Amino acid sequence: MGFEYLVIAFLFGLSTAIIGKAKGSSFWVWFIVGAVLLIFGLIAVVLSRREKDEPERQCPHCLKAVKLYVQVCPRCGSELFMPDPRAVRHPGVRG
């Protein structure tokens, strides 16, 4: 543990972040995940679904389309609760 660990954590963080970014997620979020979880973070990002395939719903206040897991609307800042299932769109699923 020590310098070698930091180098390994950095390398895992970097590769995890690059994959996460390519999938449309946040570079820095995945960097931290990879740096903390190492190989497990890398596996998690490889298995993670592309951002655009995540189910979406509309913010009831400003009507911005946000991901289902988002809890606070990034545009108007209002809290979002679990929506009516009929209001959820699944871009990656036909129908």
Give the interface with Zn ion as residue ranges (CB under 5 A): 59, 61-62, 64, 73, 75-76
CA angle 80, 92, 16 (to 5 degrees): 80
Q: At which residue do the structure tokens 């679904």 appear?
A: 49
Smallest CA-to-CA distance from 43 within 67, 12, 22, 69 is with 12
Of 56, 10, 51, whose CA–CA distance to 34 is shortest?
A: 10
CB nearer Zn ion, residue 49 or residue 64: 64
Q: How far is the CB of 71 from Zn ion (least distance, A)?
A: 12
Q: Which is nearer to Zn ion, 52 or 75 (CB)?
A: 75
Q: Cβ(57)–Cβ(87) under 8 Å? A: yes
User: Minimum CB separation from Zn ion for residue 78, in Å?
Assistant: 5
Q: Give least dist CB 44 to Zn ion, A.
A: 29
- Pick the closer one to Zn ion by CB: 38 or 55: 55
Q: Output the smallest distance, CB 82 to Zn ion, in A.
A: 16
Structure tokens at 66: 């946000």
